[in-house]
Amino acid sequence: MILHTLTLTLGSTRPIHGSAAELRGFFATRFNEYAELHQHNADKFIYRYPVVQYKMIRDVPTVIGINEGADVLMQIYDEYQEIRLGVNTYQIVDRGILPRDEEFGISDKVLSYEFETPWLALNQENYHTFYGLKSEEVRDDFLRKTLTGNIISMSKSLHYQVPDRITCDLSVTMRKDHLKDVSVMTFMGTFHTNFIIPEFLGLGKSVSRGFGAVRQLTREEPVA
């Protein structure tokens, strides 16, 4: 399957300090008429994989649009001269626009990825389940199944029917983060799967707010 993506990066006259959530808040408020930018239709939340995702990639504000989200982003990407993140306002003097048609889906090779931003894998319910697991082996198996489920969920939302079994392996470490002023457990590290994921697309929860952005590392041997 081919995904049409658009990656927007923003530059200012000074270093930009802020969060992906603040970047999302700016676009959602400034362009409220586009449901793709904030996942709300009137007062109702749209439960699907976000087609516009906001990231801070190495301190660079980055917005990624997918399919219809890319179309919306192309319409509005230059309709502002400054952005406000938290209490700070930044003049925008540079916009990088990168449209791409990218492969997405099952692969005959195992691909290696790393989480560029923390992976928010667990909700409140399965956090307690995970925390109660006693051995590292069982916890790793739980996370492998969770990661596979994330890929399947993303695929369904993007209307891709997975034709074969997805394999996953991972090497991650736990860390503490915050989401809406609530302490959450996240993971950083690498994983390997027979699935092609375009650069910086998010896996897991709260990907529109910058969590779970992945970057491909290297290609490995064909799947046996």
Question: What pLDDT, in 10s, does the model give residues 136-152?
Answer: 899 999 999 999 999 99
* Mean pLDDT computed over 194-204: 96
Q: Dihedral of CA 184/190/192/196: which sign?
A: positive
Q: Indicate the pTM of the whole model.
A: 0.89
Q: List, in order, residues 6 or more apart from 214 with CB less than 8 Å away.
A: 113, 114, 115, 116, 197, 199, 200, 201, 202, 203
Question: Which of the listed residues 101, 118, 146 is the one where a domain comes to its end?
Answer: 101
Whole-number pLDDT of residue 223 = 45
* Mean predicted confidence (pLDDT) in 5-31: 94
Among 85, 101, 117, the domain-final residue is 101
Report whether pLDDT(224) > 50.
Answer: no
Say whether both 214 and 124 belong to one domain: yes
pLDDT digit string, tens, across residues 25-80:
999 999 988 988 976 555 555 568 999 999 999 999 999 999 999 999 999 999 99
Number of domains observed in the structure of the chain:
2
**Residue range 189-218: average pLDDT?**
94
- Asked if residue 126 and residue 89 are part of one domain, the reply reads no
Instruction: Tell me, yes or no, whether 117 and 215 share the same domain.
Output: yes
Q: Name the strand (E) or helix (H) holding 9.
A: strand 2-12
Does one domain contain both 96 and 134? Answer: no
At residue 140, what are phi and psi to the nearest 5 degrees?
-60, -40
Torsion of CA 197, 169, 204, 17, to 10 degrees: -80
Average pLDDT over residues 178-201: 91
Q: Of all helices (H) and strands (E), which one includes residue 74?
A: helix 68-76
Phi, psi of 130 (to 5 degrees): -60, -45
At 167 the pLDDT is 95
Domain with 134 in it = 106-222
